Structure 1
Amino acid sequence: MALIDLPLLMKDSVRGKRSAVTCALKCASQCAFGPCNHSDNETFRDIASAALTRRGVLGGSTAALAIALGGTQGALADGNGKGKGHGNGKGKGHGNGKGKGHGKGKGKGKSGALAPNGTKLRFEAISPVDAEVDEFTVPEGFAWHPIIRWGDPLFDDAPEFDWDAQSAEAQRLQFGYNNDYTEIQEIPGSHGKRAVMFVNHEYTNEPIMLPPTTDAEDATMIGMAAHGLSVVELERKNKNFPYRYVRGAELNRRIHLDDDYALTGPAAGSDLLKTVDDPEGRTVQGTLGNCAGGLTPWGTLLSGEENFHSYFRSAGTSEAEQRYGLADRATARGWENVEERFDARTEGYENEPNRFGYIVEVDPWDPTSTPKKHTSLGRFKHEGANVIVAEDGRVVTYSGDDEKFDYLYKFVSRDCYIEGDREHNMTLLENGDLYVARFTGDSPAAEIDGSGELPSDGEFDGTGEWLPLVLDGESAVPGFTVEEVLVHTRLAADAVGPTKMDRCEDVEPSLHTRRVYVACTNNSDRGTDGKAGADEANPRTENRDGHVVEIDEQGDQTSTTFAWSLLLVCGDPAQGDVTYFGGFPAEKVSPISCPDNLAFDAVGNLWISTDGQPSGIGFNDGLFRVTLNGEARGRVEQFLSVPRDGETCGPIIRDEDRSAFVSVQHPGEDGEWGAQRSYFPDYDGRGPKPTVVQVLPAKG
């Protein structure tokens, strides 16, 4: 029996940016089965669904308030200079399980390094790296250092990693696989020398992790143990040295599939969430498919449960199941053959999939704390969630549903943030209002032809409104109870007519300008037969390269209206792609495709990590800086490139230290045991290890 049963369809039927293996393992090749969203939202008609005949659909639409885009970006200093840096930086690294290792960059740019908004992180942009290169590439003058790898032992009693003798018992005590969202917080009083890091582990690829002689059931148990979450303490001599993880540290923690999570919010205790193992519907074991996340103002971490559907076999007969991609077919990993709860066809476990698809909150400062799943933020394929304190003291959380033609959401807390009252603040995501976004363009429909060419006014822009799903503790969707809205959020959102987006992934509010940025990764089905066509917020048919939306709520983060524009329409101008870079000359930027995770540096520049450039513009994925203001608005500069088949995840920018961090996920994904495609980060001839990496100035 194969370690993982990869469906035959993955070789022939997968559409989109990722490799067929990644599609099969990450999202069960969902794109091969077509979008889950069959609602008719484009003309705001009622949903033609027999399963919803008992429910009324919210009629009419509130006229969008016309808002002119303001100049809040002027709060940032103008970028100082124009132009593009090019280089052929080549870095190669090596190291051991204790976090040693580095690679130096050799790239040289055509122009001097630029420092938008006075950032200390000056570099000359590297040239894009061909998708077949198995190197971690950084600019000249920088070096990269592995902090922690898959399999590194976290505890004093954890065994050292052994390629030939891995076990589930060992994996439970070691760093998990496919690190995605990453956050690092300084430990108070450590003078910058110690920190705590949070990382989630999205999914596994057993065929490149384990020898083919591994017993299939053992492989399943090892894979299950490699999922979950990790909290790890870090240390360094000072900011000029890379972090190393601390084995056996007090805060180190692995959170597993059999650990308890507390359900919070109005849907906790609902009949929709009860199972034979949890008749109260308030405690879930484990978290699945964790993707991006966010740091709260009170120091906890949020993590989004994304492609949870791929772990369950379900009857697949109800509209709710179909809307989330649940079906009656064997899963690739076969967990339903090991644990009954992953077979939702089994009596007593029909609701088990309803207990996944939430935002998880973890307190990294308390190893004994119980993580939470917040039903108030809705259930869908969350890429992540990011929080900002609104002008009136309430907290606002933004989240994207990462699937073709799904939606953008906003949550506004019922209660206000209280500085210094951490116990109170840790309850803020348990109750509040939930909204979904509708975008309206301001250009004639005939000018949005699907090509990506700008309309006559020179911008893709317009106004929008946040449509309520839950308001003041009550359902705002006729025919849905609050519990139904929060458990079957996609169906409730369909009923009010939001805009179908090109895979909203990370959504990040800027603490400098309070504008909100949305990474729309791509949508190969846009405008194809029977699918929604181009609109001004998603202006390209068969959108291979994605775009970035900028939202301006005009000084009120709790507003139900907003203005918007597209900051970037991604691609490679040198390959003839129709692109837009905020008005900056396209010939002076680094090419970029498939924006995924977003982050900001200390002075307000936007950073973008990508997922899918190899299948898009033919280059390895990377990390890019984008200037948001002044004459250089829209300038994209590539800072690093990850190895072959890898995805760039969890970017953290510490420009005050001239440092950046990324989690390299699924390097060498398309390989197999005995024919590996990557040997990152150790380059020891064995195989790839997903790794958290720090980049900082090279010594000497």
Structure 2
Amino acid sequence: MSDRPRLLPLLGATRHGSRDAMTCLYRCGNACDHPVPNTSDNAYFGDVVNAEVSRRGLVRGGAVGALVLGFGGAVAGAAPAAATPAAPVVPEAAGFARPAGGVGNGALTFKPVPPNTLDSLVVPNGYDHAVVMRWGDPVVPGAPEFDLHAQTAAAQARQFGYNNDFVGVLPLDGRRRALLVVNHEYTNEDLMFPGFTGQDALSVEQLRIAMAAHGMSVVELERVDGTGQWRPVTKGRRPYNRRVTALATKFELTGPAAGSAHLRTAADPKGRTVVGTLNNCAGGVTPWGTVLSGEENFNQYFVGGDAVAEEVKPKLARYGVTTTTRYPSGSRKWERADERFDLAKHPNEANRHGWIVEIDPYDPESRPRKHTALGRFKHEGANVIVARSGHVVAYMGDDERFDYLYKFVSDKKFMKGNSWVARRHNLTLLESGTLYVAKLDETSAGEIDGSGRLPSDGAFNGRGRWIRLVSGNRSYVDGMTAADVLTFTRLAGDKVGATKMDRPEDVEPSLLTGKVYVALTNNTDRGKAGKPAADEANPRNLNKHGQVLELVEDRGDNAGETFAWSLPIVAGDPADPSTFFAGYDKTKVSPISCPDNVAFDATGNLWISTDGNALGSNDGLFATAVEGPKRGHLKQFLTVPVGAEACGPFITGDNRSVFVAVQHPGELIGASVENPASNWPDGDFAKPGVVVAWRLDGGPIGS
């Protein structure tokens, strides 16, 4: 019998006000059906009022000296297009010039795409789009063409993986060639294997195919005829092309927790080498030309939690690992293909996942690393900025109901330039530093009633501070060593009283202003009996639409320990009085629900992709100015097909191309390969893929 629900006809059954039940099952193991992992009684900031804080206390940060990898022109020091990369090199980082109209104040002139439920990707008039890569496309030279009915793990390990999430595009030689780096978050066997009847019926080979379909892909691209369109290079050696998988790729553990007792296993008694990466969600591109990838819902891959030592069970449970039964509902059964996923046999294996991964796309022979100094939780991703002091700062969110917002500040300083010395130095920046968790205070606690009504000062805002958890090998959390804090970071956040947020997902600093933007996707448990009620940063109970948080670090110092915060966007239908768009005329604003990923274009405008639109239409990509008179004028740029979420996005430095990952198209209860709910992109059965959109006249995206 199948252990997967199958309802016919297709009803598009949604859960928790947004995402379809099939997505909930495969992506996170029905996390919302399980108890909230955060059962700590630390005060959420609705209980904390800082009487000295006022709206006048907000401090605006200036431009920071951070760098960004761009496509603005020829790139010095780029690798030869067809040469084997014997010496990895990073293109010269090119900073953006401050536009005359003001940073983050670029005009968004496209006509908004209306909400719809079409099974296609829709872009504004005057734009076009094309599929760049789809599930099964060859990646590694010599990979076989995809054959739905003759899949093998060996083939999938050389082909483009399933359910693409994060998208990064790094230049090779300026305007002509680039490297596409993509996360493959999870698999959906219902939509991968013809005749699927349940996880128990899968062969070991099919389980290995699923493992090979996880991970990451690196694909060399070329620009099409000088336009904003890009396509994979299909001829020549393509030495950079690479697949990283959950099946066989080895990762090096770095940082203070590497080698600790928490990370040792029978197969790896030194605790320094991990096989595979799991549930890679969002990520970021570093100033030194590497890609960071966040391991998120890793808990669902493990069984046998009931057999671990009693003192370990609370730690596993805090991360969503089931400890009351051997086989949790919806188990992927990977232990049938690899026993390391059975915690009864390998109780530390789960601790080896949930980290930030760093991969060097310019060196295909390099071993990816998992950085323990950045903490372990359900990482959505990590995004880096260089502070005025020269230290590297990485911002991160823990994508769970009532979990926390973090940042990491490196011990070492960023070294400019493309020399071997600089590159080797910069590759060590994330191995040692200080990890913080955020605590937010509010200005209008007595006025927050859970309805989303604006307080009397006309804004949701307040002050906040970064609480130190660990610096190098020194712990700041009572009763926990540095290795404890980094391996069980959620428990450390509980102990110090961090602020419980509404699913902090993507967190990204503007490289032009230093301000930081956080996508808080939703939290329909807020305000329920026994759960934290609304507060000023999470102002609605039963929050199904989410909000965007803006942090302004004091004195523009991203390495500092205090900040101001506000909510420029409280998402939903603009006609709903509980929504807010930075005070902009809401009759001119596109409806938006469930912000997930954020990005910036070259002028500093904020782009937002959504996951789980609870307004009844398809997910999409939106853009808004974040400064000036157009701040809050949110406009929808594109929509994705039925059942899909919009991931990425990535806008090239010349503002001529926007890349979006179309993840899990047609993922609706009752769908199958034979009975697809979506035919995107090829007219037969649904395939996740990455698309690029561009202006037909060659002008900049958006403006």
Same fold judged by TM-score > 0.5? yes
Note the residue ranges of structure 1 that are not aligned, 5 or more in a row.
Answer: 46-59, 76-113
* Aligned equivalents of 2:37, 2:537: Cα separation in 1: 20
Distance across 2 between alignment mates of 1:242 and 1:508: 26
Once the two structures are TM-superposed, the CA of residue 15 in structure 1 deviates from its matched residue by 3.0
Residue number in structure 1 paired with 2:414: 417
Deviations 1:622-650 (A, max 9, x none): 00001111111111010000000001001
Q: Does 1:227 align with 2:214?
A: yes
Map Cα deviations across residues 354-400 of structure 1 (whole Å, 9 max, x no partner): 00000000000001000000001100000000001111111111100
Match of 1:324 in 2: 319
1:201-600 alignment, distance < 5 Å: 201-212=184-195, 216-217=202-203, 218-240=205-227, 242-247=229-234, 249-257=238-246, 258-316=248-306, 318-327=313-322, 328=325, 329-330=327-328, 331-346=330-345, 349-420=346-417, 421-443=422-444, 445-471=445-471, 473-554=473-554, 555-574=556-575, 576=576, 578-600=578-600
5+ long unaligned stretches in structure 2: 65-100, 699-703
Which secondary structure state, in structure 1, belongs to the residue aligned with residue 212 of structure 2? helix
Residue 17 of structure 1 and its aligned partner are, at CA, apart by: 2.6
Q: Helix, strand or coil: the match of 1:354?
A: helix
Letter in 2 for 1:28: G
Residue type of the partner of 1:193?
R
CA drift at 1:119: 4.7
Q: What is the deviation of 1:301?
A: 0.3
Read off the aligned partner of 1:274 and give its amino acid letter.
Answer: R
Looking at structure 2, the residues matched to 463 and 524 of structure 1 have their Cα atoms a distance apart, in angstroms, of: 25
2:70: which partner in 1? none
Which position in structure 1 is the counterpart of 2:167? 182
Post-superposition offset of 1:176: 0.3
How far does residue 337 in structure 1 lie from its aligned partner after superposition?
A: 2.0
CA contact (8 A) 2:574 2:580 kept: no
Q: Secondary structure at the match of 1:333?
A: coil
Q: Which residue of 2 aligns with 1:638?
A: 636
SS at match of 1:185: strand
Pairs within 5 Å for 1:100-111: none
CA contact (8 A) 1:65 1:561 kept: no
C-alpha distance in 1 between matches for 2:188 and 2:689: 15
- State the SS of the aligned residue for 2:603: coil
Distance 1:319 1:11 in 2: 36
Provide Cα deviations, 1:77-115, integer angstroms capped at 9, x if missing partner: xxxxxxxxxxxxxxxxxxxxxxxxxxxxxxxxxxxxx99
CA distance in 2: counterparts of 1:273 and 1:352, whole angstroms: 7
Q: CA deviation at 1:287?
A: 0.3
CA contact (8 A) 2:335 2:341 kept: yes
**Structure 2 Cα separation of the partners of residues 162 and 535 of structure 1:** 52
Please give the secondary structure, in 2, of the residue aligned with 1:643: coil
Residues of 2 paired with 1:588 and 1:213: CA distance?
46
Higher-RCO chain (CA-CA 8 Å, sequence separation at least 6): 2
Q: How many angstroms does 1:498 deviate by?
A: 0.8
Q: How far apart are residue 116 of structure 1 and its match?
A: 9.2
* Contact persistence 2:441–2:464 (CA under 8 A): yes
Secondary structure of 1:566's counterpart equals: strand
Q: Distance in 1 between matches of 2:305 and 2:404?
A: 25
Q: State the alpha-carbon separation in 2 of the partners of residues 377 and 167 from structure 1.
A: 35
Alignment-mate amino acid for residue 688 of structure 1: A
How do residues 37-76 of structure 1 correspond to structure 2 at under 5 angstroms? 37-42=38-43, 68-72=57-61
CA contact (8 A) 1:7 1:332 kept: no
Change (3 A) 1:573 1:468: same
Shift, 1:336, TM fit: 1.7
Report whether the alignment pairs 1:124 with 2:111: yes
Corresponding position of 1:197:
180
State the aligned residue count: 635
Please provide the CA RMSD for this pair. Answer: 2.6
Distance in 2, matches of 1:157 and 1:413, equals 41
Which residue identity lines up with residue 407 of structure 1 in the other structure? Answer: Y
In structure 2, the CA distance between the partners of 1:413 and 1:116, relative to structure 1 (3 Å rule), is closer
Q: 1:11, 1:351 → 2: CA distance?
A: 38
Q: Which stretch shifts more, 199-208 or 669-678?
A: 669-678
Whichever residue aligns with residue 243 of structure 1, its letter is: W
Q: Return 481-490 or 66-75, whichever deviates more.
A: 66-75
Q: 3-state DSSP class of the match of 1:630? A: coil
Q: Cα distance, 1:207 vs. partner? A: 1.1
SS in 1 for 2:478: coil
Secondary structure of 1:631's aligned partner: coil
What residue is the counterpart of 2:88 in the other structure? Answer: none
Look up the equivalent residue of 1:544 and give its one-letter code. K
- Give the TM-score normalised by structure 2: 0.86
Q: Distance in 1 between matches of 2:438 and 2:507?
A: 13
State the AA in 2 paired with 1:291: C
Counterpart CA distance in 1 for 2:44 and 2:302 is 34
**Contact 1:593-1:610 at 8 Å conserved across structures:** yes
**CA shift at 1:236, angstroms?**
2.0
**In structure 2, the residue corresponding to 1:495 is in which secondary structure?**
helix
Q: Distance in 2 between matches of 1:352 and 1:484?
A: 15
CA apart distance, 1:163: 2.0
1:541 positional shift: 0.2
